[in-house]
Chains A and B, each alone.
Chain A
Amino acid sequence: MTEEKKPEERKKRRTATEAAGRVGSMTKAMLANVPQAKGEGRPIAYSFICCCYDEIIRAMDITPHWVENYAGICGAKRDAQRFLERAEAENLSRSLCTYALCGLGFDAWREELGGEMPPDAPWGGQVKPDVMLGSGQMLCDPRNKWFQAAQHYMPDVPTYDLNLPWPPYEEDYDYREVQDDYVKYMVAQLRGLVEFLERHTNRKMDWDRLSELVDLTDRTWNLVHEAYELRRAVPTPMGTGDAMNTMVPLSFMMGTQQGYDFFKELYDELQQKIARKEGVIPDEKYRLLWGGGLPSWFALTDFNYFNSKGAVFPAETTYRMVEALYNFDIDFARITDPLEHIAWRWLKFWTCRYDKTRQRPGSHPDVERLIDYIEDYQIDGVVMHEAFSCRSWHVGLIWQLNLLKKIYRDIPSLVLESDIIDISSYNEADTRARIDAFIDTLEAVKSRAG
């Protein structure tokens, strides 16, 4: 039997690395910076992660408020329900992205209070922005509908919709035939964003600064890649539980020195741990891949539960939105326009496994990525999470697992079902029973293999 734990009763999740342990206070400081910037008259932008505009807003000294992060915090504190219910009262379906519902519920409430934060708003709340930067054709529908919906409560806040498509993987044409069209379009969209920001925030783009930050981001991408590659070690020095913390500097501090420094420290720490043969757990029995799905922010301790059963997660696809740039088939040094640089980096990220995919009949780049990680990190099983409210990351997972088994090998897998922040979808006893059964399967496979 489980007991529903109140937020304050929940134990803090144990992290394996010191770096991950520092993320909580970094996040708090990042959030506190937003009302402070607002107080100082600096423009605030509601922003999404992985939208390629990190360097642009930083170069223009616009402060991002990361709406997904805020919703995630409400979820992690098990305090999202009242905002979700508030959104439902506004006629927004509970089946929609719960990050968006949480954010919209919050905004509706705050605006109804004349701009005052709703009572006991987690970590100081979410301030009214000056602009909202949505994104279509990339990752998900809520990213262009959310801010449009938010205008219902804040009609005076302008929004921009940034389109950043990448070429789909198809057999009958090579993405290189169309890549120039994609880059041209992305650059036009990014340029449109700069103009939009200049028009609505009274800031001018500092193009030299932008180039510097683009370079800093490149270096950060490489560094993150190299740090995460260290997790191949046996025993692995860092698991997915920690990566759900280090996603904060990865996703919310890209294009900042602070983000870069964080990963430098993480890199050093992981190296030291490897030298000391210090793993997430001392007796690593099963190495698992977190093969897809955003985590349940209110249940990160499930990762510790896996650990308690001898299982570790040396790799995950979630939030690992970087690759080593030096592996791409492009010479970035020849690109002088920073916007074009950003566009190519993005396009090459999404297409970097297309050539490899063609070599395995019936394969798909998403499945190739799973195979790469399975081999590179010596993986015994794959775990995924299907969050009911987000179609973009959670549709296609079952098919990927089926295809993986068909074209590669029959590897044990587990698909957990819940949500990112809606705790009403979660049942701890059930989840843990399923984990137990999965561990039994892993054990059976292991002993069969001898």
Chain B
Amino acid sequence: MKVEAGGMALVDKYCQDYGSRARELKGQGRKIIGGLCAYVPVEIITAAGFVPFRIKGSVSEPITRADVEMETIVCPLVRSCFDLAVKGRYEFLDGLVIPHACDSICRTYDVWKYTLGLPYSHFINMPHSDNDTSLEFYKTVLNTFRKSLGKFAGREISDDSLLQAIKQHNENRARVRQLAGLRRSDPPLISGEELARALIAIMSIPVEESISLLGDVIAEVKPRASATGVEKPRIMVVGAQLDDDTFIRLIEDSGAWVVADDLCPGTREFWPDADITADPIDGLAERYLQKIKCARTYREQKGTYPEYLEERFGHIGGFIRDFAVDGVILYIYKYCDPFGFEVPAVKSYIESLGTPVLYLEDEYSKSTIGRLRTRVQAFLELLGAK
């Protein structure tokens, strides 16, 4: 068994120099396809023989170049990603895939495409609703992407290679679930910050390497003794994309454990698998459109309003119970329409379960995150006093 301090050390390396592995692979002749958001169907990119790479922002780097092409009214995370890309941080990219996730992502597709001028770009015109006619349409959209990427690869993407890629990505997700599940114990075996870093690291490497890295991290973390110590509140963080560990660290430094999340990267992205279906596109379409529960997808209302809330937010309730969560922090970016409009409903849903909620709006920058500290501390005190 491989137990040397390899896993977490490698995670740290990949986080510190984000993209370093992709750069190396590029040097070895691999093609790297960048993407924004959990809605990029990475299986198709892997099946084409390319490395899917998640473009990441940086809360500590001031935005200096993005504004020349992109308005400041865009989601601050997307702006930060774009700023880094324009500065050449991701110069190894061969292509770019942008899904219709939200307005900030969708409306900037052309800005990305024309500014970066990469050899390959594609927009995945994903429908917003989760009903069956939308699912059928979405399959055609995925097939358009499959065909287009196949053209760029110089060969068709076969069903077999897709199936293979789906299995690999499912295995990867199973490992994430296993690792994230180690937060169930009290105290958790892995801190929220460590998990966040592991998930960030694997956004930047090929799936086969991710599977092996996660295996190493699990082997390293699992034998940790479930130490007894001071009791700390167990926090769940709910929000959109969080590709940075600063905020999670702030919560944990304030005297809590982050034991659960509804975030990307996080449970939202890694809990649902793609089913193995006769036509591999079917399983993929269902996973992305129907199984991933993100505010960007409109869930059709079938029953009563309380049933509807359960359908939309029930998974959050599930995590609260499963991971013995004491309090939820709703962490929402400025200019984020999909998550922003849900705040009153999701807040009251969680509170109806008897779990206190702290709602914070942020701008994805170290200075604004720092300003949240007092509010987080006050919330933790309130939980401690309960």
B141 — which chain A residues lie within 8 A by C-beta?
181
Flag whether A22 is at the interface (Cβ < 8 A): no
Task: Render A356-398 as a binary contact track against B, CB cut-off 8 A, 1 for contact.
Answer: 0000001010100000000000000000001011011011111
B68 — which chain A residues lie within 8 A by C-beta?
398, 402
Q: Could you tell me the distance between the alpha carbons of A379 and B55 in the complex, rounded to whole angstroms?
A: 40
Q: Which of B71, B144, B332 contacts A173 (CB 8 A)?
A: B144
Flag whether B140 is at the interface (Cβ < 8 A): yes
B140 — which chain A residues lie within 8 A by C-beta?
178, 181, 185
Q: Are B334 and A93 in contact (CB under 8 A)?
A: yes
Task: Render A165-184 as a binary contact track against B, CB cut-off 8 A, 1 for contact.
Answer: 10110101100011001101
Q: Which of B137, B152, B298 contacts A185 (CB 8 A)?
A: B137
B330 → A minimal CB distance (Å): 9
A402 — which chain B residues lie within 8 A by C-beta?
68-69
Flag whether B271 is at the interface (Cβ < 8 A): no
Flag whether A296 is at the interface (Cβ < 8 A): no
Q: Are B114 and A403 in contact (CB under 8 A)?
A: yes
CB-based nearest A residue for B363: A95
| Interface residues in A104-137 (C-beta closer than 8 Å to B) | 134, 136-137
Q: Are A142 and B122 in contact (CB under 8 A)?
A: no
Q: Which of A100, A170, A189 contacts B341 (CB 8 A)?
A: A100
B111 — which chain A residues lie within 8 A by C-beta?
395-396, 399
Q: Are B305 and A90 in contact (CB under 8 A)?
A: no
Flag whether A233 is at the interface (Cβ < 8 A): no
B227 — which chain A residues lie within 8 A by C-beta?
none
Segment from A148-156, A209-217, A298-306 that makes contact with B: A148-156
A142 — which chain B residues lie within 8 A by C-beta?
337, 341
Flag whether A159 is at the interface (Cβ < 8 A): yes
Q: Could you tell me the distance between the alpha carbons of A305 and B134 in the complex, rounded to whole angstroms?
A: 47
Q: Could you tell me the distance between the alpha carbons of A389 and B71 in the complex, rounded to whole angstroms?
A: 11
B279 → A minimal CB distance (Å): 16
Q: Are B128 and A90 in contact (CB under 8 A)?
A: no
Flag whether A97 is at the interface (Cβ < 8 A): yes
Q: Could you tell me the distance between the alpha carbons of A144 and B337 in the complex, rounded to whole angstroms?
A: 10
Segment from B8-16, B96-104, B320-328, B373-381 that makes contact with A: B96-104
B111 → A minimal CB distance (Å): 4
Flag whether A163 is at the interface (Cβ < 8 A): yes
Q: Are A167 and B125 in contact (CB under 8 A)?
A: yes
Segment from B37-45, B204-212, B344-352 that makes contact with A: B344-352
Flag whether B295 is at the interface (Cβ < 8 A): yes
A93 — which chain B residues lie within 8 A by C-beta?
332, 334, 336, 340, 343, 361
Q: Are A364 and B114 in contact (CB under 8 A)?
A: yes
Flag whether A282 is at the interface (Cβ < 8 A): no
Q: Are A395 and B344 in contact (CB under 8 A)?
A: no
Flag whether B127 is at the interface (Cβ < 8 A): yes
| Interface residues in A86-106 (C-beta closer than 8 Å to B) | 90-93, 95-97, 100
Given the known inter-chain contacts A178-B144, A364-B114, A391-B107, please indicate yes or no for A145 contacting B341, CB distance below 8 A: yes
Given the known inter-chain contacts A145-B338, A173-B144, A185-B137, please indicate yes or no for A168 contacting B125, CB distance below 8 A: yes
CB-based nearest B residue for A181: B140
Q: Could you tell me the distance between the alpha carbons of A152 and B122 in the complex, rounded to whole angstroms?
A: 37
Flag whether A161 is at the interface (Cβ < 8 A): yes
Counting chain B CB atoms within 10 Å of each CB, the highest count among A92, A100, A163, A364 belongs to: A163
Q: Which of B122, B295, B308 contacts A145 (CB 8 A)?
A: B295
Flag whether B296 is at the interface (Cβ < 8 A): yes
Q: Are A92 and B341 in contact (CB under 8 A)?
A: yes
Q: Could you tell me the distance between the alpha carbons of A146 and B137 in the complex, rounded to whole angstroms?
A: 24
CB-based nearest B residue for A186: B137
B125 — which chain A residues lie within 8 A by C-beta?
137, 165, 167-168
Q: Could you tell me the distance between the alpha carbons of A192 and B134 in the complex, rounded to whole angstroms?
A: 11
B335 — which chain A residues lie within 8 A by C-beta?
95-96, 391
Flag whether B123 is at the interface (Cβ < 8 A): yes
CB-based nearest B residue for A168: B123
Flag whether B185 is at the interface (Cβ < 8 A): no
Q: Which of A141, A155, A395 contacts B73 (CB 8 A)?
A: A395
B356 → A minimal CB distance (Å): 14
Q: Are B71 and A397 in contact (CB under 8 A)?
A: yes
| Interface residues in B93-151 (C-beta closer than 8 Å to A) | 100, 102-104, 107-111, 114-115, 121-123, 125-129, 131, 133-134, 136-137, 140-141, 144, 147-148, 151
Q: Are B133 and A188 in contact (CB under 8 A)?
A: yes
Flag whether B342 is at the interface (Cβ < 8 A): yes
Q: Are A152 and B74 in contact (CB under 8 A)?
A: no
Q: Could you tell me the distance between the alpha carbons of A386 and B73 in the complex, rounded to whole angstroms?
A: 9
Counting chain A CB atoms within 10 Å of each CB, the highest count among B114, B140, B336, B343 belongs to: B114
Flag whether A412 is at the interface (Cβ < 8 A): no
Given the known inter-chain contacts A163-B134, A172-B151, A399-B111, please indicate yes or no for A391 contacting B344, CB distance below 8 A: no
Q: Could you tell me the distance between the alpha carbons of A366 and B110 in the complex, rounded to whole angstroms?
A: 10
A141 — which chain B residues lie within 8 A by C-beta?
102-103, 296, 337-338, 341
12 sample A-B contacts, Cβ–Cβ < 8 Å, listed by A number: A93-B336, A136-B129, A145-B337, A146-B341, A149-B344, A155-B305, A158-B301, A391-B104, A391-B335, A398-B70, A398-B71, A399-B111
Q: A389-B73, A395-B71 are in contact. List 15 more A-B contacts (CB 8 A).
A: A91-B347, A92-B343, A96-B337, A97-B337, A145-B337, A146-B341, A149-B342, A149-B344, A163-B134, A165-B137, A173-B147, A181-B140, A188-B133, A189-B134, A364-B110
Chain B residues within 8 Å of A, Cβ to Cβ = 68-71, 73-74, 100, 102-104, 107-111, 114-115, 121-123, 125-129, 131, 133-134, 136-137, 140-141, 144, 147-148, 151-152, 295-296, 298, 300-301, 305, 308, 332, 334-338, 340-345, 347-348, 359, 361
